[in-house]
Homo-oligomer: A and B are copies of this chain.
Amino acid sequence: MTELEQMGKNAKAAARVLASAGARKNEALLAMANALETREEVILAANALDLAAAKENGMSESLLDRLTLNHARVQGMAQGIRAVAAQNDPVGTVVGGTVRPNGLKIEQVRVPLGVIGIIYEARPNVTADAAALCLKAGNAVILRGGREAIRSNQAVAETMRAAAEQTGLPKDCVQLVQNTDRSSAVEMMQLTEYLDVLIPRGGKGLIQSVVQNSRVPVIETGSGNCHVYVDDSADLEMAANIIYNAKTSRPSVCNAIETVLVHQEVAEKALPVIKKRLDEKQVELRGCERTRAILGGSVVPAVEEDWATEYLDYILAVKVVDSLDEAIEHIATYSSGHSEAIITKSYENAQKFTAQVDSAAVYVNASTRFTDGGEFGLGAEIGISTQKLHARGPMGVNELTSTKFIISGSGQIR
């Protein structure tokens, strides 16, 4: 039995206890939050070792920032866990039911998924977030973080495991994979006997690798080639405002936009207004020919690849379209199915856009940046699903559950 198989076995045993742990899950979560605060010094010392090694290896400033823990971030982890504890427990919720003509009473109730694997990169706060969400929904979790954060992750995970044990839950409800070589990620993808689902969190490369190679069912998260379409009836100030927000408030996240489509009837008026706002942040525009004819030579000519690219940067592709239909067609061709918005005053066009655009979140007159568990009122989120099976859009604790049917009879046979 390999180390990971042993962890899988331990997780399965822990999951059976968690499935009916009820309020003890919240006691454990609150103990974990307190323990993280109490053990802040130990955690920061471990993080300092990770940071020193990362600097020696020449890690970039932005990655160093993600790796860094400090007093505020440890407080943030603890507060995040308390917020998860404050949510309703999904386990046992009756989601449907009926009494059949033969007297059988059928209830469909939420149950934990079982054992969840998470593969993630260099942010140690994911360790606390993901473990807390999985535990709240009654699942055991096997965490496999990146090499760069291993000491920080160990300190956080050990703190949480000890707190779980103190409240009477098995410490193996949270386990951290110690081997951070590629081989451990590959083995997790084959661990069908123990893992009920695998969730990758991180960059596109990581997610695609897991989606393509895993035999364990995967929930694909995070890839976002998002669009704003400016309809011919749009309020142009609103359009510019939303585009500015959706592109520049945080360009590196998946719900930021990458392409703006503008109806030809308003292009001449709208494009200069939009460009003026984006110039405040020196956003590079890559435009189609008609866009360049209106905005002039400062706009880079867009090539086919631009429509398909998730820049995650201060770059925006711009295309003038003949019609709403062309906009919908463009989105169907190039979108990753995350979030799209129409800016319009037309009831008919709003209805058509929301009906025909097939993405996880479809907006009328609002920024795509709202696609987020917190903004949707779900509390914390484990990620934003861009697949259609099981969960689509921001995933909270409910999406970390399955259901089962409980049938109460009095001797019925068929």
Beyond known contacts A242-B411, A390-B390: 19 more, CB 8 A cutoff: A16-B358, A100-B375, A196-B388, A196-B389, A211-B215, A217-B218, A241-B413, A358-B404, A359-B404, A361-B405, A361-B407, A364-B408, A365-B412, A366-B408, A366-B411, A370-B414, A375-B414, A389-B389, A389-B390
Say yes or no: A106 contacts B356, CB within 8 Å. Answer: no
Verify if A406 is at the interface (C-beta below 8 Å from B).
Answer: yes
- A367-402 interface bits toward B, Cβ cutoff 8 Å, 1 = contact, 0 = none: 101110001110000000001111011000000001
> With A and B bound together, what is the CA distance between A32 and B254 in angstroms?
44
Chain B neighbourhood of A358, CB < 8 A: 16, 19, 111, 114, 404
Verify if A38 is at the interface (C-beta below 8 Å from B).
Answer: no
The answer to whether residues A389 and B245 also contact, given A375-B414, A407-B366, A409-B364 and a CB cut-off of 8 A, is: no
Verify if A362 is at the interface (C-beta below 8 Å from B).
Answer: yes
The answer to whether residues A197 and B377 also contact, given A362-B405, A365-B410, A409-B364 and a CB cut-off of 8 A, is: no
Verify if A104 is at the interface (C-beta below 8 Å from B).
Answer: yes
Report A104-137 residues with CB < 8 Å from chain B CB.
104, 106, 108, 111, 113-114
Which residue numbers of A lie inside 8 Å of B, CB to CB? 16, 19-20, 98, 100, 104, 106, 108, 111, 113-114, 196-197, 211-212, 215, 217-219, 235, 238, 241-242, 244-246, 249, 332, 350, 354-356, 358-367, 369-371, 375-377, 387-390, 392-393, 402-414
Chain B neighbourhood of A403, CB < 8 A: 392-393
Say yes or no: A360 contacts B392, CB within 8 Å. Answer: no
Query: How many monomers of this protein are in the complex?
Result: 2
The answer to whether residues A245 and B413 also contact, given A363-B407, A407-B362 and a CB cut-off of 8 A, is: yes
> With A and B bound together, what is the CA distance between A295 and B403 in angstroms?
39
Determine the residue in chain B with the shortest Cβ distance to A12. B332
The answer to whether residues A411 and B104 also contact, given A217-B217, A390-B390 and a CB cut-off of 8 A, is: no
Sorted nearest first, the 3 A-B pairs with minimum C-beta distance are: A366-B409, A245-B413, A388-B402
User: Closest approach, in angstroms, between the C-beta of A247 and any C-beta of chain B?
Assistant: 11
Chain B neighbourhood of A388, CB < 8 A: 113-114, 196-197, 402
Q: Which of A245, A370, A414 has the most chain B CB within a 10 Å cutoff?
A: A414
Chain B neighbourhood of A241, CB < 8 A: 411, 413
Chain B neighbourhood of A215, CB < 8 A: 211-212
> With A and B bound together, what is the CA distance between A407 and B346 in angstroms?
15
> With A and B bound together, what is the CA distance between A405 and B392 in angstroms?
8
